[in-house]
């Protein structure tokens, strides 16, 4: 498994977020990724890499895929937001930007085609919560994370091409019982991404790394891609991006949105619309669900993906299903993530992982590497 690391992730280090009616220190912190890196040093899974720096073709590909996943106005806003925030008041440079006002689209005919000139109004227009602080390095860190997702998907595509080549086929045929490992890669990055939609941020997310990976796989020749989101919180951004498309099957196992963040989306009756009808599967579970219930849902998800017959899979890997997570409500234990990796490997698909939630910081490294190592070890070799 190739691992692409966001070396700029510490540029996004929030001071505070609004949580349950009060300002609290951010739950999404650089130490989350640092613990994964430390555990990977102890239990290596694959080479640690960086996306190509200063490569014109790669940079063009990144801008292209971001423009298909997100709306241009939203991307422009993110790129300019910090400068606008500081221009309002020089002392703003000492504090993060958080929204304080939001539109009511169904009542006021809200449209992103006519954004207000007021910065606070536009920040609220593009954000769905007050828990996603924006700071000087947020745009750089988010772009670098999307670059990791792009590079991971490109690496998987390259390995797919090699594994399907006549020479590789001949070598496999000549060695009965021997199969090359299926391609896999990880975008190890923060801020996370699966809550970011076409034109909205929230849930600590600005750019949707899983959607970038899925779109890159499609651009590289896949005709069907599955996204299997195992984060405790529903991947509302990913669902929204692909909701009317049939070339991406989106599947999510998550806390019931009737009681669990991000609310509003993630219900079982949301199955897609238009060309995408039947290509979205939500598996909401009650707060307090344990491993038996969770793995039953995973089996349902895997069966649906098998029926879809994709050429590749993207897994937004959230570890906040862990029993000790401070802002979640499932009861998985560290050993359960070994089983998770083996079950994901049973899909037998080229796979891109994107690092998402997981806020029991001390345990997130062990839990992440448990998934990755068991996934790789379960591969035929």
Contact 238, 279 (CB under 8 A): no
Work out whether strand 16-19 and strand 280-285 pair parallel, antiparallel, or are unpaired.
Answer: unpaired
Q: How far apart are CA 224 and CA 308, in angstroms?
A: 8
Q: What is the dihedral of CA 298, 303, 308, 313, to 10 degrees?
A: 40
Residues whose CB is less than 8 angstroms from the CB of residue 156 and which lie 6 or more positions away in sequence, other chains included? 183, 184, 185, 217, 312, 350, 351, 352
φ, ψ (nearest 5 deg) of residue 114? -130, 70
- Bridge partners (DSSP) of residue 227 are 250, 314
Q: How far apart are CA 374 and CA 15, in angstroms?
A: 35
- The angle at the Cα of 185, spanning 176 to 170, to the nearest 5 degrees, equals 25
Work out whether strand 22-25 and strand 16-19 pair parallel, antiparallel, or are unpaired.
Answer: antiparallel
The catalytically annotated residue of 27, 195, 234, 254 is 195
Q: How far apart are CA 121 and CA 115, in angstroms?
A: 8
Q: How far apart are CA 297 and CA 302, in angstroms?
A: 9
195 labelled catalytic: yes
SS3 193: coil
Before 262, cis peptide (omega within 30)? yes
Q: What single-letter DSSP state applies at residue 54? A: T
φ, ψ (nearest 5 deg) of residue 113? -70, -20
Active site residues: 195
């Amino acid at each position: 498994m190739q691992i692409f690391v966001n070396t700029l992730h510490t540029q996004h280090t929030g001071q505070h977020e609004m949580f349950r009616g009060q300002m609290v220190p951010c739950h999404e912190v650089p130490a989350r990724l640092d613990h994964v890196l430390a555990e990977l040093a102890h239990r290596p899974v694959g080479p640690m890499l960086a996306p190509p720096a200063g490569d014109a073709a790669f940079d063009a590909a990144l801008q292209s895929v971001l423009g298909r996943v997100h709306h241009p106005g939203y991307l422009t806003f993110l790129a300019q937001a910090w400068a606008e925030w500081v221009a309002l008041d020089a002392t703003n440079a000492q504090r993060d930007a958080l929204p304080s006002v939001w539109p009511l689209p169904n009542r006021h005919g809200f449209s992103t085609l006519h954004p207000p000139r007021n910065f606070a109004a536009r920040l609220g227009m593009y954000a769905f919560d007050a828990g996603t602080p924006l700071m000087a390095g947020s745009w750089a860190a988010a772009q670098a994370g999307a670059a990791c997702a792009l590079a991971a998907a490109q690496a998987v595509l390259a390995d797919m091409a090699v594994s399907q080549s006549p020479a590789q086929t001949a070598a496999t045929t000549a060695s009965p019982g021997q199969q090359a490992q299926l391609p896999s890669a990880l975008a190890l990055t923060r801020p996370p991404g699966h809550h970011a939609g076409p034109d909205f941020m929230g849930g600590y997310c600005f750019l949707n790394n899983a959607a970038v990976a899925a779109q890159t796989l499609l651009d590289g020749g896949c005709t069907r891609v599955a996204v299997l989101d195992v984060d405790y919180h529903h991947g509302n951004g990913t669902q929204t991006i692909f909701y009317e498309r049939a070339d991406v099957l989106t599947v999510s196992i998550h806390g019931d949105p009737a009681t669990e963040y991000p609310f509003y989306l993630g219900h079982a009756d949301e199955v897609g619309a238009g060309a995408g009808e039947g290509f979205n599967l939500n598996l909401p579970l009650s707060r307090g669900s344990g491993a038996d219930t969770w793995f039953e849902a995973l089996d349902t998800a895997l069966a649906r993906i098998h029926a879809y017959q994709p050429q590749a899979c993207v897994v937004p890997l959230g570890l906040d299903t862990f029993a000790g997570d401070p802002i979640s409500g499932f009861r998985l234990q560290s050993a359960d993530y070994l089983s998770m990796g083996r079950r994901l490997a049973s899909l037998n698909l080229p796979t891109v992982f994107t690092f998402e939630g997981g806020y029991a910081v001390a345990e997130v490294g062990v839990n992440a590497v448990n998934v990755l190592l068991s996934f790789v070890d379960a591969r035929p070799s």
